[in-house]
Structure 1
Amino acid sequence: MDPAEEPPSMLWGLDPIFSAFARLYVRDILEMTESTQVPGIYFYNLHPIYKVDVLGIVVSKRERDDFFCYGVDDGTGVINCLCWKSDLLKKEENPSKSGAEHCDGAQGGFDPVAELKKLKQAQQQRCHLEIGELLRVRGPVKTSRQQREIMASTYYKVNDPVMAVQIAWMTEVPQLYRQCYDKPFKLQPKTEGNFVDNPVAKSTNILKDFFKQKSVSRFRPYDVQDLLQPLISSQPQTASADQEPVAGPSGCQQLRQLLKEALQVLQDEGVVYRKVKSQDEVYHVTEQDKDLLIAIKDIIKEDSKREKYAEKGCHILHILSAVRQRYSLNVSKAALELILKSLVCNSDIISTSDNHYTAF
């Protein structure tokens, strides 16, 4: 990569991918270019990356006194993963001695020493893999002897007899590529060319600030119409001497059209919605609608107790369907996402995955 193309290192923290374990394909990890500013930092589509999360099959294995070196294949390529041994793996126990101790302890009932030994053995088994087993590994990417490898900070064997984990992984990773990784990291400052001259963008920001400052829960269009009046040019349209005056929209028409467009943008973003569509245009501010918040919270709390959703939680589409059935047909997915984000921030619910939620 040309050094001139790299974003300045002081701006890397603005990219959320920089502080996350990037779930990249092994092929892309091997092909990433290393930064010329800071060694150990790599770039994928201008995203600065230094730690990754990989799931794959062990296809090779080398063991040393202090570490295992596993070759992991995710279907796109093979990368070496350096997995340091814990103190438990370094200690070699005498199987016959441990078995005798366990039998002696079992005669007296519960033996905490034997149970602790079982726990340690289970931990050893999770960290000791053979060829053909499924491994998940997280850690920073390093280049050693001109070969790309992962220095594991966390690794463990994944028990996946029905391939549920692998199917979920193959479903989520392409979504991350579409939504994050394949979109280049670009700063979008609010310049005069793309922000100030856009009256609809200014209108939406004026309305958002008004809703936040006044804690507005619902409103009608004529309640906020005057807020946008300064954006309508008061200069009359003039025609040249040899042309007849051309009739254009009046100031009131321009104001109504601008308000209509701004409200449509706010609805698309989920900031506002109409609970009931009628001639009386009443808009509800999503984050200020306590009834909607309580309804969503109750739905998640009730349905999380059902056996179907007990383990992973309620999917966002299930919650959306339930909200539309029990509260309002006009609640959009964007509006629901704003409420769910607010509930998670307030610790009212838990996000078990990108699209699943459960209650305490």
Structure 2
Amino acid sequence: MKLFFPKVGMAAGENLDFVPHRFWHTDSVYKSYVKLYIVDIVSLLDYPMGKGAFAYKNHPVYRVDILGWIVRVEERAKMFNYGVDDGTGVVNCCCWKPKGRDEPAAVNPDSSFREFVTDKVQTHQMQQLTCMELGDIIHVRGRLNRYRNRVEVSASYFRKVEDQSCKAEIYRMEELPNMYQNVYDRPFVLPSIVASQLRLESEESESGESIVLFSIQQPSRAHLVDRLCIHLRSQLGDPSNGFQNFFLRELETIEAVMEIASCPCLEYKQDSVGGKAPIRQIRNVIKQSVDRLDREGIVFRSGNEKEMFQVAQESLTSRLDKTILKILRADCQLPKYEKGCHYLHVMDRLHNLNPFQNISAQAVKLALDRLEEQSEVISTTFKHFIPFS
């Protein structure tokens, strides 16, 4: 398989993939305040596939959570600079003074409640800043910046930690090895559907041949999914058991499917030789269409095979609805779920039952919405459901 990201080596024998900026949100590390050793923080390099983050392994990092001793204090007009040492290194933390004041101000008795609360917060921040000295323990959360070619932390939260027995530091040093092993040192891997899309983009760039990546959601293309749905249900659906397995490649042997799938390829591929669309484009159209049907609950992924699906006929849909109702009636009797079961919990329970081992979350949500329309279930929140009776 061709690699479609630039590579980054972080250790001997390690070769990881950088990820484009538009997919950073799929990494839980990017969304959180990352607890790294300071020696790793100060050695971070800019992430090469977009601005605003630094790279640890191939994880995009832009916010950190640190705990350490103050080894340097510098007061400036708008901020305090603290050098924070956790035993592995020292990083500069910029803790900003409240805007518009360099010292606490008296409360104006005629001010509104909001102004009163704001003043109290600003006063507390100034007290926190002015009370911290060399040797104190400080907890800081903030965004990473590069200033004069060094990494520093612009604090959004900071507080002095009163901990004479050093329990907080001991707990942090016990916590970090587990975080590194189970999260940070594990490579950031994109979901398979996103990785497939990027692979197609890479092949298009290398070959110079346009690959159709049209949007299935466009109204002018909706008929493609509709016609494919009709064909799958009429030709592949087996009324005797409610579903029939099929592979994506099998659809290429069906003339009607190929005729449907090649239409948008020919439209977007103006220089098609002999009026025929490249097979790679057609395969991409078929895959996008089936993925759309999977999200809508019309087909389900079947078994452990990557590209095997089954068509949901009326009997299978009815069986799904009855199974979900059975799960809700049983689980909502438990104190933990007395206020309703989350639809992802229902999906997990279905994954243990045949033939729903690979049913998608979207298909489960659609089934629950269908049951609610039939007054079989009630939604207690947007994501939680209980049986009507």
Alignment TM class, shorter chain as reference = 0.3 to 0.5
- Give the TM-score normalised by the residue count of structure 2: 0.43
